Amino acid sequence: MNSKERMMLALQKEKPDRVPVTVHQWQQYHLDTYMSGMDPLSAFKSVGMDAAIQYFEAMGQFWTPDAEKFIVQSPAWQEQIEVIDPAPTNKILHHTITTPEGKLTYKTGGNLTTTWICEYLIKKHEDIDLIEKYMPVSKLDKGKVAQEYDRVGDAGILRGFVWGDQAGCWQHACCLMEVQSLILEAVDNPDWVHRLLKTLLEKKLQFIEESLKGARFDLIETGGGAAAIRSSLPPCTRSFVSLTTGSCTRRCMTRVTGPPTIRAVG
């Protein structure tokens, strides 16, 4: 039994020849520092693991390495990135987004191992009006997905994603507003938080409809991250986090069809 067969059986809750052995993802710093700069597929093969390759396309995610080179915008969403410090050990970027009805700003930092948010995009309630009206949803390059699927072959599975800084609506919201502030807003202004999550959900469903149908993924991640700890969230938000993640998962299951078998997880 090869790695793809083994992992697909496990995802379908069937019994493979052995338990699949994999890691969630290889970090580029680890590959560069400890594995001679090899790519993730080669790393899996070199240590005898079943490969779980995470497909990636730059779609305006704040954590994209060299984000200033991969700006995603539209006529109504114009982003400019000022490089404050280009040093790879402490890179600082200032982002300004101009829309027909106002501007949004945020700041990010990064080093050789990770990236982080220094200043969040949402600073007042009205900011989500601009997100709802103007934030663009990128389209997936299915041709590149197919090429990567063929490259992985029997060595393992190819994992897909849902548009946004993170796949889950709550986790994505936590990339737009500081998480403690967002939890307090969920207590004090639950309708506003629900509107934010619904806005992100609608954009993710748009991505699923436009980009995932026919995409050659073995598995699509629709949640996780901060949404995985919903037991610590206020009840008013906990249920909506489950609802939004479930909506993405159900849409993936109904819209993404054909070989290979798709399993949406979150």
Which domain CATH number covers 45?
3.20.20.210
Q: How far is CA 200 from the centre of its chain?
A: 12
Q: Say if residue 165 is in the same domain as residue 240.
A: yes
Whether residues 203 and 253 fall in one domain: yes
Indicate the SS3 state at residue 198: helix
Give the pLDDT confidence score for residue 229 in this predicted structure.
54
Residues 194 and 77 in one domain: no
Same domain, 187 and 79: no
69: nearest Cα among 94, 90, 60:
60
Domain interval for residue 50: 3-57+138-265
Q: Are 121 and 108 in contact (CB under 8 A)?
A: no
Beta-bridge partner residues of 53: 158
Burial 143-165 (b: 16+ CB within 10 A, else e): eebeebbeebeebbbbbbbbbbb
Most confident of 92-96, 248-252, 256-260: 92-96
In a domain, 197, yes or no: yes
| Whether residue 128 sits in one domain with residue 53 | no
Both 159 and 242 in one domain: the answer is yes
Enumerate residues 6+ apart whose C-beta is below 8 A from 16. 1, 5, 6, 7, 9, 10
Phi, psi (rounded to 5 degrees) for 82: -100, 125
User: Is 146 part of any domain?
Assistant: yes
pLDDT, average across residues 209-219: 91
> Has residue 241 got a pLDDT over 90?
no
Q: Dihedrals φ, ψ of 116, to 5°?
A: -155, 165
82-95 average pLDDT score = 96
137 backbone dihedrals φ, ψ, rounded to 5°: -110, 115
Is the domain of 224 the same as that of 116? Answer: no
Residues 114 and 169 in one domain: no
Query: Any idea which of 97-111, 145-159, 203-217 has the lowest mean pLDDT?
Result: 203-217
Q: Which of 113, 134, 155 is the last residue of a domain?
A: 134
52 and 81 inside one domain: no
62 assigned to some structural domain: no
Tally of domains in the chain: 2
Q: What is the mean pLDDT of the chain?
A: 88
What is the model's pLDDT at position 183?
87
Residues 252 and 164 in one domain: yes
pLDDT given at position 260: 46
Residues 128 and 17 in one domain: no
Q: Do residues 147 and 223 both lie within one domain?
A: yes
Q: How confident is residue 255, by pLDDT bands cut at 50, 70 and 90?
A: low
Residue after which a domain boundary falls, among 85, 108, 134: 134
Residue 53: pLDDT over 90: yes
Q: Is 211 within a domain?
A: yes
First to last CA, the chain: 27
